[in-house]
Structure 1
Amino acid sequence: LLVTGALVVLGLGGGAIVTEALVRGHLAPPDTRVPTGLYSRTVAWDGTERSAVRLATMPGARNEWRQPVALDEIPESLVQAVLAIEDQRFLEHVGLDPRRIAGAFVANLRAGGIAEGGSTITQQLAKNLFLSARRTPLRKLREVALALALEARHSKEQILEAYLNEIYLGQDRGMAIHGVAAASSYYFGRDLDRITVGQAATLAAMIHAPNRLAPTRHPEAARQRRDLVLALMTAQGRLGEGAAERARREAMPRRAHPSRSVEARWFRDAAAERIPGRLPTRGAAVYTTLDARLQEAAEDAVQRGVARLPGRPEAALVALDPRSGEVLAMVGGTDYGRSQFNRAVTARRQPGSAFKPIVALAALSRDGRRDPAFTLASVVEDVPLDVATPEGPWRPANYDGGYRGDVTLREALEASLNVPFARIGLAVGPERIVETARHLGITTPLAPVPAIALGSGEVTLLELARAYGVLATGGTLAETRLVTASRVGRGELSDVDPAGQTQVADPAAAYLVTSALEGVLDHGTGAAMQQVRWRGALAGKTGTSNDWR
């Protein structure tokens, strides 16, 4: 068999040179096997990934859960358990084990079927790395050739480390679990360095048939196979009888511990567009600004809010840090599977009354050296208005159809009165309102028409959130950030979205508008927010356009 294996290396695919080229450099550090994925923001970057939550794989990457570990981070009990059950002569052979093959042949002959495998750890790794699951007459020969080449090219330690990071060990909600560290987290809810001898034996036992021997679903089958592993460990001198007996008394886990991951698919798509160049489908990590807890809360809020409305309309949500510009949560719709269109960053909609704070900012800001045209105490008429336009007369009306006579600008904003704001817009000038919107980061083209004061122009939700952020920071606009850094393998971190702030609005005017927006949520159209338990001041604005949208 060893002679046959050598002939295979020389005879398949153009000879040993081709086979060596195939495996050259393939056993890179284990983290290069991890699917290129998105990770949440880290509170304090310390050069590791421990504080980051996995959000999703990037487009094109496989849906896998991996936690790469070095061989010296894997407990010795687990290494010995795997060697005992899978390849007891791993440190002695050169990729093939003739005694194991002969033993498997006899066992299978007696059983009348496949009862035992003869593949070494190196053969299994070669199959997992290079070959498809499709069985062909030449597949086993290719496996042998690749195993011999791997042994010639790499050390036993490198092969074992790659194997323990590569092996398939079940499913987590449709996501393939690869490697012993991810499996330890899923089945036992603990880091790999904290597993017991019994748990190590259970993981080793699963390699033979991960789904059929999953301890959370088939505890009795898993227990029997685990006990076999423990028996082999003692028989081979890898474990004392006392330790084995204690391990046999360990109970199987009753429940799994799914990975803490947030899909955040709309955010993922938006983040992918900001990454320069093309990342490999494996071995890269993209660190984002997303807050996993806020994202979960945002998705829940959208679903609960839409469920209360007739016809289940679409919805979107953006939460950002106005000082840093970091997008902390993003929901682009109600069902990503049905529609991948990101309504948070792409959809242009009329903001309606949510645009009034921008009009108020223009009215309360200095125009060059001239004093502001309005103050919060300025009196504005709330009486019928008829404006001549090229399209015909424009007659704005309040949402309740009534009029209040004289009101202050503050009162008009708190009660979201259309007619007074139409008058304010005419006094300030539609062109200046559009210019103010540009300064606040709204880049969507806006027509300078009288109705702009009531939010007739279309903007994206992200643009509107940025504009509100300027009010919250006293007139400072921060560059929007979704991605902070990326890295390939164990390489250096690369900055992606640079941070930056610019003063774009009159700080005094921004303060006054924010003050009025506090009144909106205290006793104005957004008074329902008083039900929210919140420490500190709240400021915001309700907004609808046509048909209460």
Structure 2
Amino acid sequence: MFSTREVLLKKSKSEIIELYMNAIYFHNGVYGTSQFYFSKPTAELSKAELSFLAAIPNNPELYNPLKHFDKTKKRQERILKQMVAEGKLKQNEYEKLIKNTIKLDLSTSVDLYPDYVTYTHQELKNLVASSEGLTKSLQSSDEATRQQAEVELNKRGEKLLNSGVTIHTPLDTKLQTLSKTAIQSKIGVNDIEGAIVVIQHHTHELVSLIGGKDYKKNSFNRAYQSYRQPGSAIKPLLDYAPYIEETDADITQLVSGASYCSNSYCPKNYSGDSYGMVTLKSAFSQSYNTPAIRIFEKTGIEKLQVSRFIQL
């Protein structure tokens, strides 16, 4: 009540209803706008079009004009009739308005950040699958079971989205644009592909995600669908961070970069060369394999807690 009173002191009732109308859900991912259904601003709508839109928010699913146009039209007529009863509309004007043809002119929805949006939708599906007990069926070895679970998941996910749910994300739009520009400029027009994932270390939030240099919505998203061996990128997590934390070693400490063999396991450095004693800094920056194995042995796998070093 206190909040309501504060709003009434600062805003007129007309301003409050305007704010409300600009925020409520009109189905199909549309909030408080006429642009989607009629491709023109509210100020240019006819009274018939305005009353037609007014029919939707009461039950956006039931009065979704793309699926239930006739129901939306009937509710529009009921609203206009009620206005006549309340003395807000004359009978002859009512009869004129209900005869006006309502012609939808859908605007094309432009998704500015399809890479990130696709990932967000997938995360939502994962949450729905988990909460609805569908995860096990989706992972079933039986194809029919998987397909049935996928159909059910899509149905429930669509129902949730159409309910008007709002999804908040930490997307940094400026960084997303910079990431897109970077991957396109660095990779160029050749056949090489790539992806970018940026996580804000202090908040552990996913602030930018690029699924490919020319990613289209719902296509293959390399940022989270392209499974690859981490290769040497895992060395800081498996080797150097645990070792430095465990031993308090300095980056100038020496470690052997010579050949290594343990039983039949004989990995080599990428070049095939043996380097003798090298500093931790050199071993890390040059991504030598044999020094990494040696310091891993000193730390021991039983002391490895990857979650301490991966701040997600």
Shorter-chain TM-score bucket reads 0.5 to 0.7
**Counterpart of 2:174?**
293
Q: CA deviation at 1:312?
A: 3.1
Q: Distance in 1 between matches of 2:122 and 2:49?
A: 44
**What is the TM-score normalised by the length of structure 1?**
0.36
Once the two structures are superposed, the pairs formed by residues 291-330 of structure 1 within 5 Å of their partners are 291-307=172-188, 311-313=191-193, 315-330=194-209
Q: Distance in 1 between matches of 2:165 and 2:125?
A: 16
Q: Which runs of 5+ in 1 are unaligned?
A: 1-27, 36-60, 70-74, 88-118, 158-165, 176-258, 367-371, 441-466, 468-476, 481-549
Identity of aligned residues (%): 20
1:269 matched to 2:146? The reply is no
Q: 1:400 to 1:65 in 2, by over 3 A?
A: farther
**Counterpart of 1:406?**
277
**Counterpart of 1:150?**
79
Q: Of the two, which has the highest radius of gyration?
A: 1
SS of 1:400's equivalent in the other structure is coil
Q: Distance in 2 between matches of 1:281 and 1:413?
A: 50
SS of 1:269's equivalent in the other structure is helix
Q: Distance in 1 between matches of 2:73 and 2:229?
A: 65
1:394 is aligned with what amino acid?
A: Y
Once the two structures are superposed, the pairs formed by residues 145-184 of structure 1 within 5 Å of their partners are 145-153=74-82, 171=107, 174-175=108-109
Indicate the structure with greater helix content: 2
Q: Distance in 1 between matches of 2:272 and 2:189?
A: 26
Once the two structures are superposed, the pairs formed by residues 335-374 of structure 1 within 5 Å of their partners are 336-337=215-216, 340-358=219-237, 359-366=239-246, 372=247, 374=249
**Counterpart of 1:396?**
267
Q: 1:353 to 1:325 in 2, by over 3 A?
A: same
SS of 1:394's equivalent in the other structure is coil
Structure of greater relative contact order (alpha carbons < 8 Å, 6+ residues apart): 1
Q: Distance in 1 between matches of 2:66 and 2:34?
A: 23
Q: Distance in 1 between matches of 2:180 and 2:77?
A: 51
**Counterpart of 2:162?**
281
Q: Distance in 2 between matches of 1:143 and 1:357?
A: 60
Number of residue pairs matched? 237
| Contact persistence 1:302–1:334 (CA under 8 A) | yes
Q: CA deviation at 1:308?
A: 6.0
Decide which of 247, 253, 264 is 1:378's aligned counterpart. 253
Q: Distance in 1 between matches of 2:277 and 2:54?
A: 80
Q: 1:396 to 1:125 in 2, by over 3 A?
A: same
SS of 2:209's equivalent in the other structure is strand
1:349 is aligned with what amino acid?
A: R
**Counterpart of 2:297?**
426
1:272 is aligned with what amino acid?
A: L
Once the two structures are superposed, the pairs formed by residues 38-57 of structure 1 within 5 Å of their partners are none
Decide which of 20, 28, 32 is 2:24's aligned counterpart. 32
**What is the TM-score normalised by the length of structure 2?**
0.58
SS of 1:355's equivalent in the other structure is helix
Q: 1:285 to 1:336 in 2, by over 3 A?
A: same
Indicate the structure with greater strand content: 1
